[in-house]
Structure 1
Amino acid sequence: MQSRTQIIATIGPASGTPEILDKLIAAGMDVARINFSHGTHETDGSYIKNIRAAAERAGKRIPIIQDLAGPRKTTDTGHAFDKSGSVITEKDISDLAFGIECKVDYIAQSYVGNAADIEAMHTEITKRGGNQKLIAKIERQEALDNFDTIAASADAIMVARGDLGQALPIEELPFVERDIIARTKRVGKPVIVATQMMLSMMHSDAPTRAEVTDVAYAVILSADAVMLSEESALGAHPVEVVTIMERIVTRAERENRENTFRPL
């Protein structure tokens, strides 16, 4: 039995071939994400083509999320929000135009701070003849401060725990995740929990016990979707990580029978 909670798998070099995509869909992938922080339009376009072909072979609808990079800067520990410019960068605009041309289903907007950022992206989508739905990534304090208006303006919410965990005292993150899920559910929008959910499976063929608990916790809190990033895009075991996540999610749903699921 397939879970009702959706599994979003990021597609990359480890998973973008027709053979692996067929296996990911069979294992339980419901939605495909492409991270436009990396790669080229040529490569990302090939992933989109392969995802659509695999979905057709499986007889399933697999929505595609285009995740825009946003204003990020490189730091000693990876990347962080760049406060010096606009929330929508020139790269975002170029990538957005490409995503609309490819008819992606969702745009994930990085480093949203307020409802005006959402409306500006909606305007850019409309200007280019698109009708894509917009996912607001919650990953900085300003977004938490303006959450209610952001949730009202966006079509879905993503708890982007990587940057969010750097913006908060780390011990607060589980409770902020809980609150974002609850507040999003109250306004009737889908909510996604993302980042490092099963990161050890980049190299290992099994998750840690803490990761199993983390995925189950998100489902028990009534998340509508859980997301894999590097684990499925770059990892050594993309099919296995989806298979195991599906097992965890299906089991956790038995503890939360009252959840009203809102699929992407």
Structure 2
Amino acid sequence: MKRMRNVKIVATLGPASDDYEMIRALHEAGADVFRLNMSHGSHEEIAKKHAIIRQVEKDTGSSIAILADLQGPKLRVGVFAGDSEMLEEGAKFRLDLDTADGDSSRVCLPHPEIFAALEPGKSLLVNDGKIRLKVEDCGPDFANCVVIAGGVISNRKGVNVPDVELPLAALSEKDRADLEFTAKLGVDWMALSFVQRPADVEEARALVKGRAAILSKIEKPNAVERFDAILAASDGIMVARGDLGVELPVQNVPPIQKRLVRKCRHAAKPVIVATQMLESMIESPMPTRAEVSDVATAIYEGADAVMLSAESAAGSYPIEAVTTMDHVAAEVEQDPTYTQIIESSRSANRASVADGIVAAAREIAETTNIKAICCFTQSGTTALLVSRERPRVPIIALTPLTGTARRLALSWGCNCVVTPTMERFKGAVVSAAKAALEGGFATSEDQIVVTAGVPFNVTGTTNILRVAPCDERLIFATDPE
């Protein structure tokens, strides 16, 4: 399905989008990737959604990526005798391991690992940071705090500990079960929540065993501090601004977002910008102007994808939310300023033959009347390198591997086509021309750039570039073979 934009759209599925008709409508409206939130829904429900997506993929002839988002370690307070309490600023409040119902002076925090890491002066944030506590005294089973920012605290509200690195396992038992289930199911991307260190990514990769690509969600301050190492260990990144904006001052998030997006592009790894992008569209058919500007900013920064969460999972206007995002992306990419920003932020990275080939392909395409860059790829690396260049012409990624095509559906500008296994470059050129014609990217009178690696079907051998006609008769008449 040919899109009129390069940035990709990730749509989260949920109660508002769990049948064939809605999921197909979301894809046709612009969703390129579907996110399965493992925090909600049984394995049976997840499997049902997965099967529907694959049916939509088959019926539309598209390559659709499926992203399983693991819950990660969830830290929550216990319950209150009256379900909730009001905490006043300046009041004393105790967190401990006592499982008795809480009151206005204390509540259970059933996470001894938090007490083990706390020190006096550290902060605890409750309910998305609405309540802020400062530790005055603490031990292995308690923390006596003072309320810095008060409010209503209720049963099982989430807790963030921004000032310390918690000695938590990277994957909970639930995460491990969900990872194995979704890997067997056949998802394309596995998102890891609350990543703190590169070892978290490496642990997940050992369990995934190559069955899915690993995407790290950046939502903790120490993940930002260790970002370069986490990026090196990951296949992709999500800038998850929800918890990041809770654990850091909100004014810190925009420059962090911009910096992380640039680093991901330099590394040729896809990056998603997520959380509250069109939040008002959960209940309204129209977004706010500020939300539209937020989506546009992420696109101007060069993000590979922008994501909808509750807007498409539980909102009243899921199709309208996807359509809005699609229209904003298309409009931004037609702006001459967008091209200037993207091209001025392109950093030269010529460390290999493949880097030189894809850079030459872009320059040739942009200085002559070339209609598309067609790249043959096994692992997806060549397509990612072309995507990093952000060319002005469409990218057609051709691969014999369905899994590679699906994973590339997350990457900027990649139009993915599954082809037969190639043995000779002439056949590859014919296949590329056919894909360009059938996809509506070129006519028989146009030319394309084709990149490939010889010998074929070997990862990491991109070493050839050809400007080729789309007319098959001319290919055979002019091919040196």
TM-score (norm 1): 0.95
**Cα distance change, pair 133–100 in 1 and its aligned pair in 2 (3 A):** same
3-state SS of paired residue (1:72):
coil
Task: Name the residue aligned to 2:309.
Answer: 229
| Per-residue CA distance 1:85-141 (angstroms, 9 max, x = gap) | 312110000001110111000000001111111101101112xxx521000000001
Q: CA offset at residue 79 of structure 1?
A: 3.0
Partner AA of 1:79 in structure 2: G
- Offset of 1:201 from its aligned partner? 0.4
Single out whichever of 83-92 and 115-124 deviates more from structure 2.
83-92
Pairing 1:177–2:257 present: yes
Give 2:127's aligned residue: 76
1:138 counterpart residue number: 218
**CA deviation after TM superposition for structure 1 residue 154, in Å:** 0.2
**SS of residue in 2 equivalent to 1:88:** coil
Maintained 8 Å contact 1:5/1:226: yes
Name the CA distance, whole Å, in 1 between partners of 2:32 and 2:127.
35
* 2:169 corresponds to: 86
Residue identity matched to 2:192:
Q
Which residue number corresponds to residue 103 of structure 1?
186
1:146 alignment partner AA? R
Query: Does structure 2 retain, via aligned residues, the 8 Å contact 1:68–1:96?
Result: yes
In structure 2, the partner of 1:62 is 64
Q: Distance in 1 between matches of 2:40 and 2:160?
A: 16
1:1-264 map, 5 Å? 1-74=3-76, 75-77=126-128, 79-80=158-159, 83=166, 85-126=168-209, 130-255=210-335, 256-257=338-339, 258=342, 260-261=389-390, 263-264=409-410
SS in 1 for 2:265: helix
Shift of the alpha carbon at 1:263? 5.0
Unaligned runs of 5+ in 2: 77-125, 129-156, 344-388, 391-407, 411-481
| Between 68-77 and 33-42, the greater mean CA deviation after superposition | 68-77
Question: Is the CA contact (8 Å cut-off) linking 2:218 and 2:238 kept in structure 1?
Answer: yes
Report if the CA contact (8 A) 2:29-2:326 is conserved: yes
Q: Is 1:25–1:58's contact at 8 Å kept on the other side of the alignment?
A: no
- Opposite residue 147 of structure 1, the aligned amino acid is F
2:158 aligns to what SS in structure 1?
strand
Shift of 1:176: 0.8
Asked if structure 1 preserves the Cα contact closer than 8 Å seen for 2:32 and 2:409, the reply is no
The one-letter amino acid paired with 2:319 is V
Structure in which a larger fraction of residues adopt strand = 2
Does the Cα contact within 8 Å between 1:65 and 1:104 map onto a contact in 2? Answer: yes
**Secondary structure in 1 matching 2:191:** strand
Indicate conservation of the 8 Å contact 1:81/1:111, yes or no: no
Greater percentage in helix: 1
- Cα separation, 1, equivalents of 2:226 and 2:8: 27
1:187 and 1:165 map into 2 onto residues whose CA distance is 25
Residues 200-223 of structure 1, C-alpha deviation per residue, up to 9 Å, x if partnerless? 000000100000000000000000
Cα distance in 1 between the residues matched to 2:158 and 2:13: 20
What is the identity, as a one-letter code, of the residue corresponding to 2:7?
A: T
TM-score (norm 2): 0.53
| Equivalent AA in structure 2 for residue 50 of structure 1 | I
Whether contact under 8 Å (2:217, 2:238) holds in the other structure is yes
Which gives a bigger RCO, structure 1 or 2 (Cα 8 Å, sep 6+)? 1
* 1:84 Cα deviation from its structure 2 partner: 5.4
